[in-house]
Structure 1
Amino acid sequence: MDIKKVIKEHGWTLERLASEMTNKREDKKGMSQSSLSQLLNGSTPLDRLQEIASIIGVSVSELVADEKDASNTIICPHCGKPIKFEKGE
């Protein structure tokens, strides 16, 4: 899971995202880029993942998806064959 990569892929910088985040300690908008980076390098709480996903316009599952799952392939529970999903334009 590389949340920073997903953030960048959606056109956001950590600095810009940090300015949009809620600073829960001070109950106001905006946090430092270093605070956001520390948050992302640790075990990011679900409420923070939801906030980040909402700000950059993705689902939480897209934000935390493993790269190995990026192929959008699942295994059919009935026959065991892989099923690949592709995004439409």
Structure 2
Amino acid sequence: MIERLKIKEAIKAHGMSVNEVSDKMGISRFTLSTHINGNPSTEILLRIADAIGCPVSELFGQPIEKNASISCPHCGKPITIKAE
């Protein structure tokens, strides 16, 4: 399973803006946005959570399944599709 980040949602849920969080972290809004939309390191995730005042786990959404299944249109048997 792949975890989907929901940093923007967590920031909004805590009544803050990206600008406010970047100010608390001492970085530019552009730099924070780059981290939010990219692949932030564990250190950055910890700093964001600290700035928001939430646990790091709140920055993650529901796991996304790497495997999906559909039914064969001819026989109805399940077909598993695996993402790599």
Same fold per TM (> 0.5)?
Answer: yes
User: Unaligned stretches of 5+ in structure 2?
Assistant: 65-84
Q: How does 1:25-44 map to 2 (within 5 A)?
A: 30-44=26-40
Match of residue 49 from structure 1: 45
Q: CA deviation at 1:67?
A: 7.6
Count of matched residue positions in the alignment of Structure 1 and Structure 2: 60
Deviations 1:51-83 (A, max 9, x none): 111111111111223288xxxxxxxxxxxxxxx
Identity %: 37
Structure showing greater Rg: 2
Q: Runs of 4 or more off by more than 2 Å in structure 1?
A: 65-68
Higher relative contact order (CA 8 A, sep 6+): 2
Q: After superposition, what is the alpha-carbon deviation per residue over 1:8-64, rounded to whole angstroms, capped at 9, x for unaligned?
A: 11111000110111xxxxxxxx21111110111111100111111111111111122
Tell me the equivalent position of 1:80: none
Q: Give unpaired runs (5+ residues) of structure 1.
A: 22-29, 69-89
Which residues of 2 match residues 1-80 of structure 1 at below 5 A? Answer: 1-21=5-25, 30-66=26-62
When normalised by structure 2's length, the TM-score is: 0.64
Cα distance between partner residues in 1 of 2:17 and 2:49: 14
Q: Which has more strand, going by share of residues?
A: 2
Partner letter of residue 14 of structure 1? V
Counterpart residue identity of residue 65, structure 1: G
Measured after TM superposition, the shift of residue 4 of structure 1 is: 0.7
